[in-house]
Amino acid sequence: MILWLFRQHLSGKRLPPASGRLLNYVFKKGYHSDFSFDGVGQQVEEQYRQIMATELTPEMEQVAQKIIADNEQHCRRMIRATDKFVSVGLRIPSRGRRGDG
């Protein structure tokens, strides 16, 4: 019911009588986050606009390249460790839901 009323409000449609008090309570106590593709895209753009518009200095680029290289090295180590598990017939522990082994 609340979501329907909220959608009606966002669409600019007339609300049923006496629903204003209920929506007013929701607006005071609730939180609205636009989790649509457009909404998330707009939030990301706002958060990263300044970062993306800033020129990288050679020092910044060097640090970034080191982070990338370290991450790739870590990934290779993890793959080798996984291959060792599989080569001896062990199952790789799951980090998923309980009961997933």
Out of 25-29, 50-54, 74-78, 85-89, which region has the weakest mean confidence (pLDDT)?
85-89
Quick one: which of 5, 46, 44, 47 has its CA closest to 27?
5
Those residues with Cβ within 8 angstroms of residue 8's Cβ, 6 or more apart along the chain or in another chain: 14, 15
Domain segments of the chain as ranges: 1-32, 56-90
What's the Cα-to-Cα distance from 7 to each of 1, 2, 15, 31, 32, rounded to whole Å?
Answer: 10, 9, 10, 14, 12
Contact 92, 86 (CB under 8 A): yes
Block residue for tokens 């518009």? 53
38-61 per-position pLDDT tens digit? 888 898 999 999 888 999 899 999
57-74 per-position pLDDT tens digit? 999 999 999 999 999 999
Angle between helices 2-10 and 19-29 (to 10 degrees): 90
Given this model, what pLDDT does residue 101 score? 44
